[in-house]
């Protein structure tokens, strides 16, 4: 049976792009209570207008005009201005006015606007899980009133065969957080990972944060990439229609709906990412990959890095150079799904999420950060084990990465231990030297595996096999494992945590010395 990727009843508000009147208006995602990107970048404002009209934008605070910007409505019927770089804070009022020869002036106003950092949160159902669905949900929801400067927005679920200029649906317009809109329903809004990341960031930075949720459960990466990435990675266009499967044989009431999102290439890039390109953003976080354990798994080491590069280039161009060409991109390495599974699609996706390097940032994925989640398994999750409820840990690990990579904070440990050297010291003993001091939970008998081959230097299905390599000792930053299972065969490879479900909750063998960040899986052949 295919995994339950998304469990919900759809609720979406169909909207037309209008915040203003007549021919003159802001684009759909500009509204009261929003956050605009702060300095050093310039925030972009855009909307719709009458050809030939003059557009004036005034930025006002405390009833005093800070400055004004003027532009002309050209043949596209779209106006666009770059505001002056603005420091964090607010509230501001932004007033845009159209003056044309064909009628009376028209005005559109944005109230309670803050300047801060804007992050886009995208992916599939583990990004969609709301605050109401996680561990300690009631406690988290009760904190909403304390975070009035963390603002939230949710793009509606939509598909398009062509790149859209603006959103066709919005589920939640820019809002001040409440217990109701953070826990609106199951797999609707607001994203727990996105919210927790944003509020942890606010706790650290103490200035406004804008969070944009644009995700859809059960979707493969192919739906979120542009045609440029499709062509670059040679992605086959396996079209499958949007499906809803009902199975009332399941015991959990949350599993009456097995909902799979669209998996046609580019349709979510077109409808749910491309419309945001004109907006200035700070960065993005991503939680996706489960759907690709069953589709184009071994293309993910191309599609994911290529998607990040393409999003960066596209946002940079769309925002007139204001969004960084290398904006920070954080992601969650897949957690667990099936206990005792012998299928290696989950470890392969985890590996491919790092472009087969095992860690980030790396030479193929610059300015990225990763939350390792293979130790956050949740066998008893009412939403299925594929949807673990421990999103606070995920968000905290993302925050550490953001502090180090996005905000260049010195001295922040944000990566788990990773091997710097692997050496066979005796015929049946391997020493692994790690990048940092280790916290060792236990000396596991099977978390490490060696590839035993009948041919030197080869590790393939015909002439080799993977066997457990028991941990013999661990001290400081060195782990010794036994390769006795190879007997008279050659040692052709080594891997760690190369299983769907490699350990129990927060009980993997190896963490950093603070026992917070698990060592990520690796494979050396």
Give me the mean pLDDT over the 272-288 stretch: 98
Check whether residue 121 and residue 55 sit in a common domain: no
Q: Dump pLDDT digits (tens) for 182-202.
A: 999 899 999 999 999 999 999
Check whether residue 208 and residue 239 sit in a common domain: yes
Average pLDDT, the chain: 90
Residue that terminates a domain, selected from 406, 439, 465:
406
Give me the mean pLDDT over the 398-419 stretch: 98
Give me the mean pLDDT over the 445-463 stretch: 87
What is the rounded CA–CA span in Å between residue 284 and residue 316? 13
Is 513 a member of any domain?
yes
Check whether residue 378 and residue 492 sit in a common domain: no
Asked if 353 and 289 touch (Cβ cutoff 8 Å), the reply is yes
Check whether residue 434 and residue 385 sit in a common domain: no
Banded pLDDT at 11 (limits 50, 70, 90): very low
pLDDT of residue 6: 39
Check whether residue 401 and residue 448 sit in a common domain: no
Asked if 364 and 355 touch (Cβ cutoff 8 Å), the reply is yes
In the chain, % of residues over pLDDT 70 = 92
pLDDT of residue 19: 47
User: What is the domain range of residue 211?
Assistant: 115-406
What is the rounded CA–CA span in Å between residue 497 and residue 383? 25
Give me the mean pLDDT over the 248-272 stretch: 65
Give me the mean pLDDT over the 359-380 stretch: 97
Check whether residue 274 and residue 137 sit in a common domain: yes
Is 414 a member of any domain?
no
- Ranges 82-91, 97-106, 491-500: which has the least confidence: 97-106
Please give the residue that has the higher pLDDT: either 372 or 5: 372
Here the CATH number for the domain that contains residue 149 is 3.40.50.1110
What is the rounded CA–CA span in Å between residue 448 and residue 471? 7
Count structural domains, the chain: 3
The residue count for the chain: 525
Q: Dump pLDDT digits (tens) for 434-443.
A: 999 999 999 9
- Ranges 97-106, 270-279, 338-347, 356-365: which has the least confidence: 97-106
The 3-state secondary structure of 237-298, one letter per residue: CCCCCCEEEECCCCCCHHHCEEEECCCCCCHHHHHHHHHHCCCCCCEEEEECCHHHHCCCHH
Check whether residue 182 and residue 252 sit in a common domain: yes
Check whether residue 247 and residue 386 sit in a common domain: yes
What is the rounded CA–CA span in Å between residue 525 and residue 511? 23
pLDDT of residue 238: 60
Is 2 a member of any domain?
no
Asked if 69 and 57 touch (Cβ cutoff 8 Å), the reply is yes
Q: Residue 286: count other Cβ atoms within 10 Å of its Cβ.
A: 27
Asked if 420 and 433 touch (Cβ cutoff 8 Å), the reply is yes
Q: Dump pLDDT digits (tens) for 473-488.
A: 998 999 999 999 898 7
Check whether residue 201 and residue 317 sit in a common domain: yes
Q: Dump pLDDT digits (tens) for 311-334.
A: 999 999 999 999 999 999 999 999
Is 308 a member of any domain?
yes
Q: What angle do CA 222, 157, 237 make, to 5 degrees?
A: 20
């Amino acid at each position: 049976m295919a995994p339950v990727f998304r469990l919900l009843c759809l609720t979406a508000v169909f909207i037309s792009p209008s915040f203003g009147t007549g021919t003159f208006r802001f684009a759909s995602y500009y509204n009261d209570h929003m956050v605009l990107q702060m300095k050093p970048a310039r925030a972009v404002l855009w909307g719709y207008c009458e050809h030939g009209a003059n557009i004036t934008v005034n930025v006002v605070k405390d009833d005093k005009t800070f400055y004004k910007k003027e532009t002309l409505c050209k043949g596209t019927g779209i106006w666009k201005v770059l505001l002056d770089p603005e420091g964090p804070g607010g509230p501001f009022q932004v007033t845009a006015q159209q003056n044309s020869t064909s009628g009376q002036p028209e005005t559109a106003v944005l109230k309670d606007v803050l300047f801060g950092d804007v992050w886009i949160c995208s992916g599939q159902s583990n990004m969609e899980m709301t605050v109401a669905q996680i561990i300690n949900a009631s406690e988290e929801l009760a904190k909403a009133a304390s975070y009035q400067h963390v603002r939230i927005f949710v793009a509606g679920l939509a598909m398009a065969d062509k790149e859209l200029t603006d959103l066709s649906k919005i589920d939640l317009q820019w809002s001040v957080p409440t217990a109701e809109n953070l826990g609106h329903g199951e797999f609707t809004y607001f994203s727990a990972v996105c919210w927790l990341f944003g509020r942890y960031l606010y706790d650290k930075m103490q200035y406004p944060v804008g969070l944009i949720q644009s995700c859809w459960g059960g979707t493969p990466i192919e739906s979120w990439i542009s045609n440029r990435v499709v062509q670059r990675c040679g992605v086959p266009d396996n079209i499958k229609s949007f499906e809803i499967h009902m199975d009332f044989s399941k015991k959990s009431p949350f599993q009456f709906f097995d909902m799979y999102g669209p998996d046609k290439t580019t349709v979510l890039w077109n409808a749910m990412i491309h419309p945001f390109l004109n907006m200035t953003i700070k960065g993005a976080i991503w939680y996706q990959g489960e759907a690709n354990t069953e589709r184009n798994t071994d293309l993910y080491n191309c599609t994911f890095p290529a998607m990040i590069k393409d999003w960066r280039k596209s946002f940079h161009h769309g925002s007139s150079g204001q969004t960084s060409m290398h904006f920070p991109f954080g992601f969650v390495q897949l957690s667990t799904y099936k206990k005792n599974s012998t299928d290696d699609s989950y470890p392969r996706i985890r590996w491919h999420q790092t472009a087969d390097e095992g860690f980030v940032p790396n030479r193929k994925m610059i300015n990225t950060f990763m939350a390792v989640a293979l130790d956050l398994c949740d066998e008893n999750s009412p939403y299925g084990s594929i949807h673990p409820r421990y999103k606070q840990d995920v968000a905290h690990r993302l925050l550490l990465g953001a502090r180090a990579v996005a905000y260049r904070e010195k001295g922040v440990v944000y990566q788990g231990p990773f091997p710097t050297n692997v050496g066979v010291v005796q015929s049946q003993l391997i020493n692994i030297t790690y990048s940092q001091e280790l916290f060792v939970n236990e000396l596991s008998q099977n978390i490490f595996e060696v590839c035993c081959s009948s041919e030197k230097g080869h590790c393939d299905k015909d002439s080799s096999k993977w066997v457990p390599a028991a941990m013999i000792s661990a001290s400081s930053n060195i782990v010794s494992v036994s390769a006795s299972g190879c007997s008279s065969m050659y040692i052709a490879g080594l891997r760690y945590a190369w299983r769907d479900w490699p350990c129990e909750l927060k009980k993997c063998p190896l963490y950093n010395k603070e026992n917070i960040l698990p060592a990520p899986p690796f494979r050396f052949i």
